[in-house]
Amino acid sequence: MNQFTASLWGDEAFSAVLSMKSIPEIISIIARDTSPPLYNISEHLWFGLFGTGEVAVRALSFLYYLIAVFFVYKIGKYFWDKKTAALSAALTFLNPFFFVYAFEGRMYSLLAAGVTASMYFFIRKKWVGYVLATAVALYSHHFALFAVFIQFLWFVKEYFWGKRKTAIQIFKSFALVGILYSPWLIPLYSQTRMVGGGFWLGTPTLKDLGRLLLIYLNVGLFALILRRWEKNLGKSLFLVAWFLGPILLTWGISQKFQSIFFDRYLLYTIPPAMILAASERRKISPVAIFIALVVFFSADLYYFTHPIKRPFRELATYVKEVKKGDDYLINWNSAAHHLWEAKYYGIPAPLFIPEGTKLPFYVGKRKRFLVPSKSSG
């Protein structure tokens, strides 16, 4: 048993069940959830080639993960050199928190790939690639907007204190991204209103902010401390803005409005932190980086070979083997129906509601159901 073959859990199963539907159905359904549709559309196409099993689900996320690491390498090489690029890619690939989502059948590794590619094309001034990569990021998760905001700040800097010609090219690229994203503006508005009406996240504290930074950096923090920060200040500042900007923005927003501060939504800020840790090294820095890589690898190896997700596949197999005729299955814990695991693994798991009205296919993280107000009394 490993992370590729572990049973799916609720959100993964929801995504898989949704992705088995037609593309028009996927778009229609997810517009009433809280995310854009690209991950599920890509998973739908992937299922057509490789089937719908757990390995196929995880392999798609792992592919996106590798793409993110590839663009980390490209950024490290462009900003510094091949050695820095290789160390940056290794630290990113093995970062324990980042590694977890390499095997999560959700949109997070696609988001990281899209944002990292977007940043690479942005700094290289390759505008066609930038427009496409940014559209991918935005159609993966709404938090990509915070990465675009960091790029907008760079546009402002370029316009007033840099090269006006480059700023105009950036502005044109922003306009093209806006055109590509415009079909999702109405669903974005609806989804934002839904989240604003009440979400499950609590207001984050300074302790939560510090905790997030620590779990992202882990022992890589020592390499950051040892870094020669006075060198290549412009490059370093760009990476710091990419790393800290979205984190501080979402933390600040969550203080005044509905909380949106959540670690996995900000996963794409780990790559710039790892590039920073690998670059502008002092003589002692390789020791800190080597220790970080050893610790990261050890943690990842244990995680990969010791899945912690509940063995729902085995439960489904057992139920199918022992269930006879009209036997009823009773869920003793009404707070955890495990509807999507049951659907994915083919266990009958009906929800009985008044007057037999059919529940809509309308779920997601909040597991919301629309139930008729009248009782069947």
> In whole angstroms, what is the distance from residue 288 CA to residue 299 CA?
17
* CA–CA gap between residue 138 and residue 11 (Å, rounded): 20
Give 358's DSSP letter: P
Is the separation of the CB atoms in 117 and 147 below 8 Å? no
Reported as a single tens digit per residue, the pLDDT across 250-306 is 999 999 888 889 999 999 999 999 999 999 999 999 999 999 999 999 999 999 999
pTM of the model: 0.91
Q: Which residues contact residue 286 at a Cβ distance below 8 angstroms, ignoring those fewer than 6 apart? A: none
pLDDT of residue 364: 42
- Report the pLDDT value the prediction gives residue 257, as an integer from 0 to 100: 87
Give 10-residue mean pLDDT values along the chain (377 residues).
94 95 95 92 98 97 99 98 98 97 97 99 98 98 97 96 94 98 94 71 91 94 95 96 98 90 95 98 96 97 94 90 82 73 85 61 41 35
Domain boundaries, the chain: 10-305
Q: What is the pLDDT of residue 354?
A: 61
Rounded to whole angstroms, the Cα distance separating 279 from 91 reads: 11
**Nearest of 92, 51, 95 to residue 75 by alpha carbon:** 92
pLDDT at 360: 52
The single residue listed with the structure tokens 């693994």 is 345
**Whole-number pLDDT of residue 347:** 86
For residue 14, the model assigns a pLDDT of 93
How far apart CA 142 and CA 144 sit, in angstroms, is: 5
